[in-house]
Amino acid sequence: MQLVKIYGDRIQIRSDLKQLRDTKINDLLLLSDEYAQVVCSVVGLTETDVSYSGGDEDYLDEFTGTNIIECSIIGSLENGRFEKAIDNYPTTKVEITKIDLPLFESMITHNKKASFDIGRYASYDTRAFIDGNRFFQRHSAVIGNTGSGKSFTVSTMLEKISMLKGSNVILFDLHGEYSDLSYVKKIQFGEDTLFPFWLLSFTDIYSAFLKVKEETSTVQISALRKAFYKVRQSEESEDKPVYFNPMFFIAELERLNESEVPTGEYYKTGDRAGQTKTVKGEYNGKLSILLNLLKEKVQDKRYDFMFCETAENYLSVLMDKILNINDKNIKVVDLSNLPHEIVPVVIGILSKLVYKMQLAQERAKRIPLNFICDEAHVYIPSDNFKLGASQRRLLDIFETIAKEGRKFATSLMIVSQRPSELNKTIIAQCANFLVLKLSNANDKFLIKDILTEGSKHIIDAVSLFKPGDGIVIGNSTPIPLKIKIDKPKEEPNSNTIDFWDIWSNKNSIDISALVNRYMEEKEG
């Protein structure tokens, strides 16, 4: 083999026919001279009879009958260990060799105490390890199409995490996929766990819950604030949850909506002689729409989890459920029974509460915490969707964690099938990406745009991945190569159904039982 072109991030090699036949896509090659050792990944092969006779200054040597190997530079060897940085480039006179298994294993040495294995490298018969410190110290993302294996990849990682005695993970589960895993603590809102209305801050009430626009509804917001402070009876910041009875809140709004104020004059004659004359108060008749909306929510059985009576110390009870790691360290917040429109609100407020608790903890006693945000594009959307004020406020907590969480031992793992629909600020803060099969051009472009030059060519191949194939790109893994990710011992309820197999059998439906079950269930 002979080096004929070299750029900052890629090279081109000329080979004879035999060498070309022995080379495959994703093979690793080592380019060595007295100055440097550069590691490259094969991304393209060309067999051609086209002759070259000079005239192009990009070529460093004249050749004819070329067989070309295109490679992406992915790093270098320093003292026998792989490094993603390149300090020195080789000259054109280099020795080019394939990296065999013994050399590969020596290149990817890792800290066994701080690493966990995720699967096997596809091109080399050896285990693939991820540095647990580097993966969770910074934010990460698991990206892949529907059916690419995201759920079982997350489950495989959860199994590894569950083996650590002091781990601390909170997973937001929109569809109940992870709730039945034996090693997790299930916290199911709407069933065994309540989310009382008073946990909402004042801004959450009018903006996220009632969808009142601040710029056009000053009178309504003023009335809401008066009622809010009247029933709270607390000097605490309106951003902190303080117990109050939501029925008293509604009653106070009704009073304001019907309020009249005395004019200072009295009726002199008639049935009302001697009584004070009144006029409509500031809010009289102007809160009817708000009241109807609130009453509809109260009457809607799906919202019982918000309007049920709770003890005044329920915040401590809820935080103990979510933050206590003495039983099971992985807490799955199951939101599958909640109305879909309230799910982002609950996630946003819970995240804010937990993060504030993390900040309040003494530094020496602070236990590292990781939020796993499944289906993250649902509640951490891109600004391209022209977000309303309520959505913008719910995003603030995740942007805050993305920017500052590392200082306070808090990190995010974003799981999504549509990275192009994710908040750009948050995805840009991710230091590690586990990329599964990804076909959408916009999604691939986004990931490429974030990665370093040497890693961009790798993303082109992910469209052809099988379910469970992935690449870890970032500082947590020594080398970005395709991995066959292990299936978890306990698989999640990911709802992948074999239509043809089921249709092949005789089936029947008990319509009467089905209707009864539907009528008894709460709608999400």
For residue 5, count other CB atoms closer than 10 A to its CB: 18
**How far apart are the C-alpha atoms of 370 and 7, rounded to whole Å?**
39
462 within 8 A of 436, measured Cβ to Cβ: yes
| Residue where the block lists tokens 């879909």 | 340
Q: What share of the chain is helix, strand, coil (3-state, %, to 5)?
A: 35, 25, 40
CA-to-CA separations, 99 to 19, 96, 311, in angstroms, rounded: 14, 10, 65
350 within 8 A of 342, measured Cβ to Cβ: no
Residue 214: its pLDDT value, please?
75
| Residue where the block lists tokens 């190997």 | 69
Q: What is the DSSP letter of 378?
A: G
Start-to-end C-alpha separation, the chain: 62
Output the pTM of the full model.
0.85
Beta strands 81-83 and 67-78 are antiparallel
Residue 296: its pLDDT value, please?
93
Residue 153: its pLDDT value, please?
95
Which residues of 336-447 form beta strands (DSSP E)?
369-373, 410-416, 430-435
φ and ψ of 60, to 5 deg:
-95, -5
SS3 state at 69: strand
Domains and CATH numbers, the chain: 2-107 (no CATH), 128-193+311-498 (3.40.50.300), 198-264+280-299 (no CATH)
Write out the chain's pLDDT in tens, 524 residues: 677 788 778 888 887 766 666 778 888 999 888 888 889 888 888 876 545 445 555 544 444 445 788 888 888 888 888 888 888 888 778 888 888 899 888 888 777 788 999 999 988 889 999 999 999 999 999 999 988 999 999 999 999 999 998 899 999 999 999 999 999 999 999 888 999 999 999 989 988 888 888 767 889 999 999 999 999 988 888 888 999 999 999 999 999 999 988 887 887 778 877 778 788 888 999 999 999 999 999 999 899 999 988 999 999 999 999 998 887 899 999 999 999 989 999 999 999 999 999 999 998 889 999 999 999 998 998 876 667 766 777 788 999 999 999 999 999 999 999 888 898 889 989 999 999 999 888 888 888 777 665 566 778 788 889 999 999 988 898 888 899 999 999 989 876 677 888 888 888 888 888 888 777 766 55
Amino acid type, 364: A
Residue 17: its pLDDT value, please?
63
36, exposed or middle or buried, with CB in 10 Å at 0-12, 13-18, 19+?
middle
Smallest Cα–Cα separation from 102: which of 76, 132, 136, 125? 125
**How far apart are the C-alpha atoms of 40 and 347, rounded to whole Å?**
43
324 within 8 A of 508, measured Cβ to Cβ: no
| Residue where the block lists tokens 């009073």 | 255
**How far apart are the C-alpha atoms of 136 and 460, rounded to whole Å?**
26
Amino acid type, 110: H
Residue 349: its pLDDT value, please?
93
Predicted confidence (pLDDT) per residue in 309-354, tens digit: 899 999 999 999 999 888 789 999 999 999 998 999 999 999 999 9
